[in-house]
Amino acid sequence: MIASAIVVVGASASGLAPLRAITESLPRHCKATVFVVVHAGIISSLLPEILSWRGRWPVEVGRSAVIEPGRIYVAPPDKHMVVSAKRIRVNQGPLVHQTRPAIDPLFASAADAFGKRVVGIVLSGSVGGGASGLAAIKSNGGLALMQEAGEGLSGPPRVSTAADIPTGLPIDAIARRVAEFCAAARM
């Protein structure tokens, strides 16, 4: 079965709590797939376990494989994760914004492969990453969301400017939007 829609989320270490709020809000039966990039070293390797604690969806480290709906894939440490219409690919391409994994490669590939069937989210504290990827999602008809700057350790002003998003949303509003999007992509 192929994912009908995807959600891509990018964050740094300060985005862990908001990320958990989003993944814990996901409806159990859904045809969407969630992809996560956290560029925060050791946290990336622990993320599948952390997101599984109270979440309803299986969480695993992304690897080159077929996309399965109803799953959360986390970018592996020191590798970029990108998607096509049916597959996940991981690679050790060049650093993007001085990091690997980086948000923009995932977001740009999601925009190309899924167009209006993608929701892209940049959580506060993500050090400039995600701006061009979120802009690509928006220009391809997808939904571009950004966490409200006051909620995170630092706001992503470059993301707001590049993706033409006038204001961010509180994390509870983002979690609701993602849950609604996923519920509409039922199996």
Q: What CATH number does residue 99 fall under?
A: 3.40.50.180
Write down the residue that tokens 């929701």 correspond to: 119
Cα–Cα separations (whole angstroms), residue 147 to 10, 17, 42, 86: 11, 12, 23, 28
Q: What is the pTM of this model?
A: 0.91
How many independent structural domains does the chain possess? Answer: 1
User: What pLDDT shows up at residue 163?
Assistant: 54
Cα 187 to Cα 31: distance, rounded to the nearest angstrom: 5
**Rounded CA gap, 120 and 110, in Å?**
9
Structural domain span for residue 54: 5-184
Q: How much helix, strand and coil, in percent to the nearest 5, is found in the chain? A: 35, 25, 40
Confidence at residue 157, expressed as pLDDT on a 0 to 100 scale: 47
Q: How far apart are the first and last CA of the chain?
A: 9
pLDDT of the chain along its 187 residues, tens only?
A: 566 899 999 988 778 889 999 999 998 888 899 999 987 655 667 888 888 887 789 999 999 999 999 999 999 999 999 999 999 999 999 998 888 899 999 999 999 999 999 999 998 655 557 888 999 999 999 999 988 876 654 445 455 555 566 578 899 999 999 988 888 875 4
According to the model, what pLDDT value does residue 153 have? 47
- pLDDT recorded at residue 164: 62
The confidence score (pLDDT) of residue 31 equals 82
Q: What is the pLDDT of residue 128?
A: 59
pLDDT of residue 159: 56
**pLDDT value at residue 53:** 84
Both tokens of 150, joined, read 């006051």
Q: What pLDDT sits at residue 142?
A: 94
- Within 10 Å of residue 49's Cβ, how many Cβ atoms? 10
